[in-house]
Amino acid sequence: MERLNPIAVLVRNEPGVLARVAGLFTRRGFNIISLAVGETEDPLVSRMSVVVSGDDAVREQVVKQLRRLVDVLRVDDLTRQPRVERGLALIKVKAPPERRGEIVELANIFRAAITHVDPRALVVEVSGNSKKIQAMIEMMRPFGIIEMARTGQIVMARGRREAHGQPYDQNQNFEVGSDPLGFADPDDDDDDNTNLLRLK
């Protein structure tokens, strides 16, 4: 079954690492939906949050191929893990004075911030999981989106690191479809706006 698979990749913070990972995805034909790279608590280590679309076989290959890269320290497949997922979008939307209030009200519902205002437009800053951001964008569309910028989604498993992710170990044997911790719901995310999003 095709699904979106969030994968956290810890890599050595070295020049060329992004190219290695991106090149791997290109040449193996893996489809990246979102990619975000940033520092971690350890300055020598960067964290890439990658969301890949594909079935279990694709997901398994993505994880295994990433583990072949020498600069990759650890790969956590978070697809079936309880997790926190966040991205950010800046949406510049047409806002003549008579419609401003409406937009601000919507932004409040999404706990979004208004980060700029001028006589003709507002910039709305919204963060959350991809569904929430998408919902916000859809709500803004009728007003007229002038410009938009989005980050990739960053993902983190809930709980202790050791408890959720598998430590780097080439000896482990993978089984497609295994769900050792019993978290079968891939969309498990008790985000504060989840209910609102489901209404949409």
Partner 1 sequence: MNAHAKEQKSAYPRSRATGADAVIASLKAQGVEVIFGMVGGQIMPVYDALHRDGGLKHLIVGHEQGGAHMAEGFARVTGRPGVVMTTSGPGATNLVTGLADAMMDSTPVVAITGQVSSHLLGNDAFQEADMRGITMPITKHNYQLTNADQVAPVIAQAFQLAATGRPGPVLIDLPRDVAVGETEIMTAVAAAVNGRKAPRAGHPLQIERALGLIKAARQPVILAGGGIIHAGASAQLKELAECLDLPVTTTLMGLGCFPSRHRLSLGMPGMHGTGYANLSLHNSDVILCVGCRLDDRVTGKLEAFAPQARIIHVDVDASEIGKTLAAAVPIVGDAKPVLEALTKGARAWESRPDFSAWHKNIATWKARFPMGYRAKDGVILPQQVVERVSSLMGDTDIVVTGVGQHQMFTAQYYDFRAPRTLVTSGGLGTMGYGLPAAIGAKLAKPGKNVFLIDGDGSFLMNIQELTTAVRYRVPVVAAVLKNAHLGMVRQWQDMFFEQRLSQSNLEPPDYDKVAQAFGALGRRVERPEELEPALRWAMKEARAKQLPVILDVMVDPEEPVLPMVPAGAANVDFMPCRTEAS
Residues lying near partner 1 in the complex (CB under 8 A) are found at 12, 16, 19-20, 23-24, 27, 57, 60-61, 64-65, 67-71, 73, 168, 170-176
Would you mind telling me the total number of residues written for the chain in this entry? Answer: 200
Q: Is the CB of 20 or the CB of 158 nearer to partner 1?
A: 20
Backbone CA torsion sign across 93, 129, 39, 53: negative
Q: Cα-atom radius of gyration of the chain, to the nearest Å?
A: 19
Q: Is the CB of 56 or the CB of 125 nearer to partner 1?
A: 56
Q: Is the CB of 43 or the CB of 97 nearer to partner 1?
A: 43
Q: Residue 154 phi/psi, 5° resolution?
A: -105, 145
Shortest separation between residue 51's beta carbon and partner 1, angstroms: 20
Shortest separation between residue 109's beta carbon and partner 1, angstroms: 45
Shortest separation between residue 28's beta carbon and partner 1, angstroms: 10
Question: Long-range pairs for 156-160 at CB < 8 Å and ≥24 separation?
Answer: 156/8, 156/83, 156/84, 157/8, 157/76, 157/78, 157/81, 157/82, 157/83, 157/84, 158/81, 158/82, 158/83, 158/84, 159/82
Shortest separation between residue 100's beta carbon and partner 1, angstroms: 48
Shortest separation between residue 163's beta carbon and partner 1, angstroms: 21
Q: Is the CB of 87 or the CB of 165 nearer to partner 1?
A: 165
Q: Is the CB of 31 or the CB of 168 nearer to partner 1?
A: 168
Shortest separation between residue 156's beta carbon and partner 1, angstroms: 21
Tokens 């706006």 label which residue?
A: 193
Q: Is the CB of 11 or the CB of 78 nearer to partner 1?
A: 11
